[in-house]
């Protein structure tokens, strides 16, 4: 458990949230105050509780939001207030993170603290670039060094010894001084043809890397327009960069994708896209509000039809508040789409009918129950179409439409859209999302932006608003939608 009045110096890892330790995640979820650095992933900050105070204390080259003395004072002040404080640092707090200085300040102030190590970028970034820092045939040692100190000036780094040491050299924060570093190492005896790699935004969807000889690296980096944040690897192991490029082979690496679903629905789709290397930006276009509705006669309907996960969730949530799931003991369930069936499964309920194609027309065409006058309950959103009702009524069913939620535009989406119009893809999973987007951003889309649709109904709405469709899922599943981007 987290303790009040304690400061936790926590390593936030190199950028990929999957590389954050379990202890770090546990502390972030419970912290009262989080003081975080510039290279900490925004996705990690989403783990914090709503009441947590988030303080940005980022420090990039010549751009310090807070001085180190002010950071130390803030940590002490919040701990004295009996708050649980997490000092969240990129990578590891004790590897070029000034965590040692903060621990000393806390000790002098009599503040309790805990150190939570993190995966440092000097290890993780080369791994994501396919560079093993040690290799039996190439290197048996690794040296980590800061590139802040210019070799032309007096400093603590002994570049002459590094040039003679051999093994692998990993340089942090060396972008500005790279020309001087390369020149100094060669001057002190390192072979100018030694392989060297420059990796920008490592462990991130924006990762770019460049391999060259030591003498050529500065010019090639400048020509490619690469910069900070970056890790530089010098040594024979760097030459393995092109032989083990596992991360750079991800098909959506470097692609920015906008998700338009509600934030609560995004996690599964976000994971699928990030597994393919995409940089995902959540831009929820709609908010959902649920309605109160009578539940007492629900067992009078032999069939209940759901066309969205939202309908399943809101319907069953209210049922459990008023009654319990046993009220549905004799009911059968028909759904449109695998995602809707999966939502039923979360409630330990089995789908009795799912059409061969995930759309309303196919559901009504393939409807399995021929009972005359069959009573069917259709819980849905306020803006749901009439296709289900009309199709089942033509089959002789008596359909009861039960509107249990409504969607409305999310005002926060406009600001996100202004910041990310350089995205490569925008994904639509419902007609209501399309309508909200058009209302928010009328007019033509940016030339670089492509659209993807989860299925025919959403595509029809896109065409209605004269928006091009560059990809459509072969079936209405998140897996199929993700796959459609890879073609």
In the β-sheet with 303-306, what is the strand arrangement from edge to edge?
A: 286-290, 398-409, 375-381, 303-306, 332-335
Catalytic residue among 16, 37, 204, 410, which?
37
Alpha-carbon distance 264 to 284, whole Å?
A: 9
- Cβ atoms of 202 and 15 within 8 Å: the answer is yes
Catalytic residue among 32, 89, 92, 173, which?
173
Q: Where are the alpha helices (DSSP H) in 238-308?
A: 266-275
Is 190 among the residues known to form the active site? no
Alpha-carbon distance 474 to 30, whole Å?
A: 42
Neighbours of 6 (CB within 10 A): 18
DSSP assignment of 116-136, as one string? E----HHHHHHHHTT--S-BT
DSSP assignment of 304-353, as one string? EEE-SHHHHHHHHHHHHHHS-GGGGTT-EEEESSHHHHHHHHHTT---SB
> Who contacts 432 (Cβ-Cβ below 8 Å, separation ≥6)?
286, 381, 383, 407
- Cβ atoms of 424 and 448 within 8 Å: the answer is yes
The upper half-sphere exposure of residue 424, i.e. CA atoms within 13 Å in the direction of its Cβ, equals 15
Alpha-carbon distance 447 to 376, whole Å?
A: 46
DSSP 78: H
Is 37 among the residues known to form the active site? yes
Is 275 among the residues known to form the active site? no
- Structure tokens belonging to residue 443: 């007019």
Nearest to 376, CA basis, from 354, 395, 355: 395
Catalytic residue among 25, 43, 59, 287, which?
59
DSSP 66: S
Neighbours of 297 (CB within 10 A): 11
The upper half-sphere exposure of residue 413, i.e. CA atoms within 13 Å in the direction of its Cβ, equals 25
CA angle at 383 for the pair 381 and 385, rounded to the nearest 5°: 100
Beta-sheet strands, E only, within 201-264? 208-213, 230-234, 256-259
Catalytic residues: 37, 59, 173
């Amino acid at each position: 458990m987290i303790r009040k009045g304690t400061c936790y110096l926590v390593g936030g890892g190199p950028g990929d949230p999957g590389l954050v330790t379990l202890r770090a995640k546990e502390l972030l979820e419970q912290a009262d105050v989080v003081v975080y650095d510039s290279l900490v992933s925004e996705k990690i900050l989403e783990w914090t509780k709503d009441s947590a105070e988030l303080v940005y204390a980022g420090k990039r080259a010549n751009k310090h939001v807070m001085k180190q003395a002010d950071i130390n004072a803030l940590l002490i002040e919040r701990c004295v207030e009996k708050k649980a404080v997490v000092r969240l640092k990129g990578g590891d707090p004790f590897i070029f993170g000034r965590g040692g200085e903060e621990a000393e300040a806390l000790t002098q102030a009599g503040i309790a603290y805990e150190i939570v190590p993190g995966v440092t970028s000097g290890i993780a970034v080369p791994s994501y670039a396919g560079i093993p820092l040690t290799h039996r045939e190439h290197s048996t040692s690794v040296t980590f060094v800061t590139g802040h100190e210019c070799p032309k000036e007096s400093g603590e780094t002994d570049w002459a010894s590094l040039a003679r040491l051999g093994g692998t050299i990993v340089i942090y924060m060396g972008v500005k001084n790279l020309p001087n570093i390369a020149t100094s190492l060669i001057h002190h005896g390192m072979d100018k043809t030694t392989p060297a790699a420059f990796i920008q935004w490592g462990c991130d969807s924006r990762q770019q890397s460049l391999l060259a000889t030591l003498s050529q690296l500065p010019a090639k980096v400048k020509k490619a327009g690469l910069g900070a944040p970056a890790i530089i690897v010098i040594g024979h192991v760097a030459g393995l960069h092109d032989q083990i490029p596992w991360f750079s082979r991800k098909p959506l690496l470097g692609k920015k994708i906008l998700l338009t679903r509600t934030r609560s629905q995004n996690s599964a789709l976000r994971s699928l896209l990030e597994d393919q290397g995409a940089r995902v930006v959540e831009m929820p276009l709609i908010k959902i509000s649920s309605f109160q509705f009578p539940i007492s006669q629900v067992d009078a309907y032999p069939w209940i039809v759901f066309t969205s996960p939202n309908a399943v969730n809101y319907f069953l949530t209210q049922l459990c508040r008023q009654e319990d799931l046993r009220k549905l003991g004799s009911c059968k369930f028909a759904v449109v789409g695998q995602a809707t069936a999966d939502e039923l499964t979360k409630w330990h309920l089995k789908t009795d009918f799912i059409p061969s194609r995930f759309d309303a027309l196919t559901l009504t065409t393939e409807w399995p129950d021929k009972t005359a006058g069959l009573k069917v309950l259709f819980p849905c959103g306020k803006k749901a179409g009439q296709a289900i009702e009309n199709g089942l009524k033509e089959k002789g069913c008596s359909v009861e439409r039960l509107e249990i939620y409504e969607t409305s535009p999310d005002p926060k989406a406009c600001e996100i859209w202004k910041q990310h119009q350089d995205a490569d893809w925008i994904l639509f999973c419902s007609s209501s999302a399309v309508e909200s987007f058009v209302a928010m951003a009328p007019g033509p889309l940016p030339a670089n932006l492509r659209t993807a649709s989860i299925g025919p109904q959403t595509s029809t709405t896109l065409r209605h608003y004269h928006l091009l469709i560059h990809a459509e899922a072969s079936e209405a599943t998140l897996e199929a939608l993700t796959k459609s981007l890879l073609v």
